[in-house]
Structure 1
Amino acid sequence: MKKFNAEITRKNILMLIRYSGITLEEFGNIIGVSKRWMQYLKKGRYDFDISAIEKASIFFNVSFGRLTTTLIAPPDDYRRTLQLHHKNNTEYSKILSENPSIPYTIEFILMKDSEFTTNPNMEIKDVRRILKNYNLVYKGSSLSTELQKSEFVECWPHSTKKNTNIYRKR
């Protein structure tokens, strides 16, 4: 039986999910568990089993041994590396060709965009315009909600416009 450190494994898998730009639900589909189960795994209520770790190892293109024993620091362009690695795997390439998760978009795209990082008064329409330059369109209020929750973004109500927030890099 393969041995592994459950805590290191959880941290690595969650880090790789973050850097890959996929959602917990998408990753759950890859390893064959529900979104709720993924949330339990994220909170540390359960551990990943061997089968799930092996599937994660294949998807993330990281050896089982490395994934389970050493903390991994993926590069900022890890999503692109995965896209290239899985370009001939239709199951994975489809997931990786869709819009990345909004937290990924905030951390790895918006926080590197000079217009967003230098402008202290951005409304959601400005953020959407910036993301459109990267061919990223997010519908509904989910972008605004994630911006408000993000550790990278400061948010406060607009002084004159009701139901409008102002955003800037923290």
Structure 2
Amino acid sequence: MGYLEIGKIVAAQGIKGELRVYPNTDFPERFEEPGTRWLLRPNQTEPEAIELVSGRYVDGKGIYVIQIKGIHDRTTAENLRNCKILVPDSDRPELEEGEFHVADLIGLSVYEQVTQELIGKVTDVIPAGHDLLQVAKITPEDGSEKTILIPFVEAIVPIVDLARQRIEITPPPGLLDL
């Protein structure tokens, strides 16, 4: 079974074993709804099952504060710093038409739609007003690599073909000039 990382424990919160989590998911209910999650400790390869008791979003901080069953004091909570919180990759929420899981976009080849010229590969998706595709662009002349940011909007990115592992873009003038 594979897993998806949904967050990382960054600190203890208070003295009763609560944990601060930096989220890495577009589905915040994963930190608010009680149930089983998995914890991956640094330098470990196998996650362990944990029970999420409760969770709440902290406005203005961009973090969640969660309570895990069996963690009742600050010292125990501090020992979980830098652990990752996971869900099984089979636990992917259904998406609407035109929505994509970030993990599915990473590594896709990006082509200019008209010329079919390979631009590069998606290395990250940066959340912003409109998400940005971070693309590693290879310069054919010298083989050097540069990073470009492409607004992930339908007008510029009309085709995302997960089956063929490709994205086609129609960049406005100047977007690809570095």
Q: Is the pair's TM-score, using the shorter chain for normalization, greater than 0.5?
A: no
Structure 2 length-normalised TM? 0.33
Structure that is richer in helix per residue:
1
Structure 1 length-normalised TM? 0.34
Which entry has the higher C-alpha Rg, 1 or 2? 2
Higher relative contact order (CA 8 A, sep 6+): 1
